[in-house]
Amino acid sequence: MYSSSFFSTPLFLSFLACMLAPMAVLGANSNHFTEYIGALFRGVKFSDVPINSSVEFHYILSFAIDYSVATTPPAPTNGEFGVFWDTENLSPDAVSAIEQNYSNVKVAVSLGGATVNGYNVYINATSVESWVSNAVSSLTTMIQQYNLDGIDIDYESFGNENDTDTFTECIGQLIKTLKDNGVISFASIAPFANPTVQSMYQALWAKYSSIIDYVNFQFYAYGADTTVDQYVQYYDEQVSNYPGGNVLASFMTENTTGVISADTGFSACQELKSENKLYGIFIWCADASLSQGFTYEIQSQALLAS
């Protein structure tokens, strides 16, 4: 028991001030790192990429596509997905080996991509029900064969740019069914700052955000003259566009004109980290980084682990 005089002591007043002070806001920094791999067929292997044991590391195989290349142009297959990555170097055994060697590594597959054999890729569904049924069946087989953990959605073109419902239901029902069936443990989406792309992915987000774990936003698609401050502003905008989402910062190591440089992208990641809002980083892609010694992968993982 305390006497009444205790409540006027400096000790109690200090305690009271601490209790009444606003609680600190939890930061958004995390140790999540993602690397896309296999799309450029440059012989890169999982084991080539340096892996920091202090990060949560995801590989994303690129790509699985629901098109047949037996014809020109390629023909849509209504959700029957095939493998379009470098399987010679990124095989089922290679997936098993990297996950056995590193407990912090998971491997996913990205669906769609921009093109196949130079032609745009988009969902061409006979019906939502048939597309989802075919996609669930074909992807379940692929995911189990390759011992994969998740899927990434990277459709960048759309047959009907005003039809958000078909995209939303095809992708939303696919993710939900694969998760409900225990086939995958996580899912990500990979939009970028294009009005049609944003309308599709934000419609998907509005209905199915609860089952989408990561937003791998392609920030590098902004102009090459983008500054670090502008990048941070763009990041804040996308966090608002995908409320509640785990939005990853990103940059590319592929030598492509017209996009944000890797140096600017990494500097922006450092700034986001200093502002306590760097949820994670993804890099496109390991294939391009192979000839560069994976400098940015090493630096990015060190930043996330610090």
Q: Counting beta carbons within 10 angstroms of the beta carbon of residue 8, is it exposed (0 to 12), middle (13 to 18) or buried (19 or more)?
A: exposed
Active site residue 156: yes
DSSP β-ladder status, 119-120 and 75-76: unpaired
Coil, helix or strand at residue 6: helix
Q: How far apart are CA 172 and CA 21, in angstroms?
A: 42
**What's the N-to-C CA distance of the chain in angstroms?**
46
Q: What's the gap between Cα 296 and its chain centre?
A: 17
Q: How far apart are CA 155 and CA 113, in angstroms?
A: 5
The identity of residue 306, as a single letter, is S
Q: How far apart are CA 120 and CA 123, in angstroms?
A: 10
- 35, 99, 156, 169: the catalytic one is 156
The identity of residue 181, as a single letter, is N
Q: How far apart are CA 147 and CA 106, in angstroms?
A: 10
Q: Are 284 and 250 in contact (CB under 8 A)?
A: yes
Nearest CA to 151 among 163, 162, 135? 135
Q: Provide the phi-psi class of 258: left if phi over 0, else alpha when psi is between -120 and 50, else beta.
A: left
Q: How far apart are CA 60 and CA 190, in angstroms?
A: 11
Here the tokens at position 284 are 């496109």
Q: What's the gap between Cα 272 and its chain centre?
A: 17
Residues with catalytic annotation?
Answer: 156
